[in-house]
Amino acid sequence: MKTYVPKQGELVKKWYVLDAEGQVLGRVAAEAAKLLRGKHKPQYTPYLDCGDHVIIVNAAKARVTGAKSTDKQYYRHSGYPGGLRTMTYNEMVAKHPTRAMMLAVRGMLPHNRLGRQLMKHVRVYADAAHPHEAQCPETRTISQ
């Protein structure tokens, strides 16, 4: 018997919409990462981009559990001494409504060139409107 390995050209990519309103941030990010990797397909291959495109709407209305809204910190550094900047989840959502969701999805993908390629297939929007109706996206529900 031979192992079937899909070629990059024979993979069909679909579009999915995930509604994050009232959903937990990590659950939405985990479902998006699963769709991006292609783990829901029978021809999943770990080293190929065999996943689909994901549109996340209402990202600003996603919730976090516990005290993460005030305790969770996002860090960035300017590269200069003393240049560490921190921001809580509430501040992040107020200033950049989609960035917390993007960082959550990025953290659940591989940290290599495949992960950087997969991040190009994610679109995150703060509200319910998105300009991708021409792709006929399929709505996907997130299990609790």
DSSP H stretches of helix in 1-144: 25-37, 68-71, 89-95, 99-107, 113-118
Range of the domain at 21: 14-140
38 in a structural domain: yes
CATH number, domain at 108? 3.90.1180.10
1 in a structural domain: no
18 in a structural domain: yes
User: Which residue matches tokens 């993908």?
Assistant: 109
Q: Give the pLDDT band of residue 1 (cuts 50, 70, 90).
A: confident
Higher pLDDT pick, 27 / 142: 27
CA distance 126 to 41: 28
Q: Residue 144: is its pLDDT beyond 80?
A: no
pLDDT tens, residue by residue, 32-62: 999 999 999 999 999 999 999 999 999 999 9
pLDDT tens, residue by residue, 76-120: 999 999 999 999 999 999 999 999 999 999 999 999 999 999 999
57 in a structural domain: yes
pTM score: 0.93
4 in a structural domain: no
8 in a structural domain: no
Q: Give the pLDDT band of residue 29 (cuts 50, 70, 90).
A: very high
Domain count, the chain: 1
